[in-house]
Structure 1
């Protein structure tokens, strides 16, 4: 009977593995925060990334620094949409729905660490994204003149929370239903100026 050979151990590549490990930790944290929320154990992140706890804390000394790295990428995707001259509020909401699980963890982080400058910076970026879209939608008469950026930010927070807590097979229909309510609330109220929602 042949004795099975042990699995070869990964070679320790030292500092050269730093960027790769950091990337693996961000990818793993996105999944862990999506499944377990902002309070999910960081040991799960290290395990999923295939690195030790020491490596995790070398790259991200605390929970917030890891979360900021994850959410920075999410906001970057939303900024790319906002920066396009033809982008719409519907398109932004579609992206937020696609990010819904991690978006909910981000909202939890902002609530828990609102006074931290890193969180304030992320929140400012989100506000800038939404404000640019609101100004564009208002100019195109797709939303009412009274609709403010704060109104849309509140709607996004509510929508992300609802979608994240809905079973995966029902998220699409629930998101469309919720967004139809916001469309009705945000639509121009003046007679003859109402424009149907962008499909």
Structure 2
């Protein structure tokens, strides 16, 4: 975060690595919000402003748009993996976390469709494939054997179909659409919310 001089004229002490980690987390959270509101091609300066840092700080952490998108994507997948690994997690609960990320992250939708053109093509298809594979693995750890989506091709096809329905100008619109899409597929989904550990 930007340091402002204290009233006695001296700058506050440098917080070092703690500030760096805070800035990176703030930038990733801001990128998720800005991409959801303005699309993946939103100005990087908007992300820096939302995070409360200068553009130089953004570029210290992320050299380009693709790196920002990759950080958001990595966090999305990591949260779904954590939800799937949680004791007592159900498939419906994990789908609720996945659905929250679909409604919050325009960049995530690109990965779910195996596309990456929206980020300028520089995230890389191999990385997108790796994230998609990790996501599928996490979901498969919780899907019951007799579930209608348990067959090899059905699970990620359904995820792709539902993510394609996630449109709308507001978060509420997008959440309604994602729940309607799961309902049309006759798939139970838990509460649409982030994984809270």
TM-score by structure 2 length? 0.71
**What is the SS of the residue equivalent to 1:122?**
helix
For the pair 1:163 / 2:166, whether they are aligned, the reply is yes
In the TM superposition, residue 13 of structure 1 has moved relative to its aligned partner by 5.4
Residue 182 (structure 1) aligns with: 185
**Structure with higher RCO (Cα < 8 A, 6+ apart):** 2
Asked if structure 2 preserves the Cα contact closer than 8 Å seen for 1:104 and 1:164, the reply is no
Deviates more, 1:30-39 or 1:104-113: 104-113
Tell me the number of residue pairs that the alignment of Structure 1 and Structure 2 aligns.
Answer: 174
RMSD: 3.0
Separation of aligned partners in 2, 1:198 and 1:116: 29
Pairing partner for 1:67 from 69, 73, 82: 69
Residue 194 (structure 2) aligns with: none
**What is the SS of the residue equivalent to 1:99?**
helix
Deviates more, 1:164-173 or 1:154-163: 164-173
In the TM superposition, residue 163 of structure 1 has moved relative to its aligned partner by 3.2
In the TM superposition, residue 87 of structure 1 has moved relative to its aligned partner by 3.0
Deviations along 1:77-125, one digit per CA (max 9) or x if unpaired, are: 1112222464333222211222223343222255124745433332221
For the pair 1:128 / 2:128, whether they are aligned, the reply is no
Structure 2 gaps, min length 5: 191-197
Structure 1 gaps, min length 5: 1-7, 185-196
TM-score by structure 1 length? 0.71
Separation of aligned partners in 2, 1:34 and 1:198: 22
Residue 189 (structure 1) aligns with: none
The 1:126–1:50 alpha-carbon spacing in structure 2 relative to 1, beyond 3 Å, is: same
Residue 88 (structure 1) aligns with: 90
Residue 48 (structure 1) aligns with: 50
Structure with greater proportional helix content: 1
Residue 148 (structure 2) aligns with: 143
Residue 127 (structure 2) aligns with: 118
